């Protein structure tokens, strides 16, 4: 099984920690993979904030976009690594799915990823509630959004517990899905492989 409460605590504690220092990873084993994945979401979140600032130059936006692409690829790789760890753990425990076991619509790693994004949203909404310059209307709106986010976290974390219990009991099957992001692959993105070809080079001149 996996400790869902430990995952929730990790998300909350590390997001607060990273706002005061550089992104790090003090965990080992499975939680180290969870922390690594959360770290990429943290970096993505703040690059997205920069990208939407009207004061950022076009040159800086280009750099931010490249960072977003890189972090998003690393985030997806990290989700797969969480799922691969779970596959290995199920094999170690000799968990064999029942013949009628069904697949879930998303993997355990994907659910954990969604919980890390919710943890980021909750942190920043709570930050908004402490703004001294915010109007009562703004605070009221933030409180409503925060209540929804907290309810989503409770519901999603309970769903994760139930899914993990079903998988480790063999009632559902676990399978790692490869995201196969095409835009970062020089052999799959036409703008990348055509730029390398003689025809692409000639067309560019």
Domain ranges for the chain = 4-187
Q: pTM for the full model?
A: 0.83
Under DSSP, the state recorded for 88 is H
Own/partner contacts of 182-190, CB < 8 Å, gap of 24 or more, are 183/69, 184/69, 184/73
Tens of pLDDT along the chain (205 residues) come to 899 999 999 999 999 999 999 999 999 999 999 999 999 999 999 888 776 677 777 777 778 788 888 999 999 999 999 999 999 999 999 999 999 999 998 999 999 999 999 999 999 999 999 999 999 999 999 999 999 999 999 999 999 999 999 999 999 999 887 665 555 566 656 655 666 666 555 544 4
Rounded Cα–Cα distance for residues 40 and 38 (Å): 5
Q: According to the model, what pLDDT value does residue 205 have?
A: 43
Both tokens of 92, joined, read 């170690």
Which residues are within 8 A (CB) of 202 and not within 5 positions of it... i.e. 6 or more apart?
Answer: none
At how many degrees (to 10) do helices 29-51 and 4-18 cross? 40
CB of 71 closer than 8 Å to CB of 40: yes
Q: According to the model, what pLDDT value does residue 22 have?
A: 96
Q: According to the model, what pLDDT value does residue 130 have?
A: 95
Q: According to the model, what pLDDT value does residue 64 have?
A: 77
* Residue that the structure tokens 């939407």 belong to: 52
């Amino acid at each position: 099984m996996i400790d869902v409460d430990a995952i929730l605590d990790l998300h909350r504690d590390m997001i607060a920690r990273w706002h005061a220092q550089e992104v790090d990873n003090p965990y080992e084993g499975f939680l180290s993979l969870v922390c690594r994945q959360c770290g990429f979401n943290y970096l993505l979140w703040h690059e997205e904030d920069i990208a939407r600032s009207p004061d950022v130059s076009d040159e800086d936006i280009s750099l931010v976009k490249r960072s977003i692409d890189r972090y998003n690829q690393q985030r997806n790789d990290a989700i797969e690594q969480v799922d691969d760890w779970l596959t290995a753990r199920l094999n170690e425990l000799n968990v064999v799915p029942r013949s009628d076991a069904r697949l879930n619509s998303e993997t355990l790693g994907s659910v954990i990823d969604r919980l890390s994004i919710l943890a980021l949203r909750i942190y920043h909404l709570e930050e908004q509630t402490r703004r001294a310059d915010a109007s009562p209307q703004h605070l009221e709106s933030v409180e409503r959004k925060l209540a929804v986010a907290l309810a989503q976290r409770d519901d999603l974390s309970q769903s994760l517990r139930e899914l993990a219990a079903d998988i480790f009991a063999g009632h559902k099957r676990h399978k790692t899905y490869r995201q196969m992001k095409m835009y970062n692959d020089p052999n799959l993105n036409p703008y990348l492989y055509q730029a390398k070809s003689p025809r692409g080079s000639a067309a560019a001149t």
